[in-house]
Amino acid sequence: MSLPADETRILFSPDSADLTDSAKAALDKLASSLNENDGLRIQLQAFAGGTDESAPEARRLSLKRALNVRAHLVDRDVRNTRMDVRALGIKSGNGPADRVDAVIVQR
């Protein structure tokens, strides 16, 4: 399944919030796009695998993932006021469970 042009998907290993080298490269490209257009902002939609019983842990892991993505973008000069974080835990919808989707939205 291909993603819309305004979305970047960052995949994680199960039970990990560490950014891979390929994730960092994708985020660097996203940061460049954001830095070129101050009218854009992003929503970080974070997910983690789990069951109903482990939902609180999955939500915490998804938050940690989103915060790591945000920190990487901040390190690349993207203001954190241009980012909204949504830790959705096990509510992964149509996609892999262990991910953060960075969706570009207009201001």
Phi, psi of 99, rounded to the nearest 5 degrees: -160, 165
Cα–Cα distance measured from residue 43 to residue 56, given in angstroms and rounded to the nearest whole number:
21
Domains of the chain, start order = 7-106 (3.30.1330.60)
Tokens of 41: 């902002």
* 30 contacts: CB under 8 Å, gap ≥ 6: 8, 42, 73, 102
Q: Residues 39, 107: contact at Cβ < 8 Å?
A: yes
Mean pLDDT by 10 residues, the chain (107 residues): 70 96 96 92 95 93 98 97 95 89 86
| pLDDT given at position 72 | 98
Distance CA(58)–CA(101), nearest Å, equals 16
Contact 45, 87 (CB under 8 A): no
**What per-residue confidence (pLDDT) applies to 5?**
60
3-class state of residue 27 by DSSP: helix
pLDDT, position 107: 63
Lookup: tokens for 7: 């979305």
Whether this prediction's pTM lies above 0.75 is answered by: yes
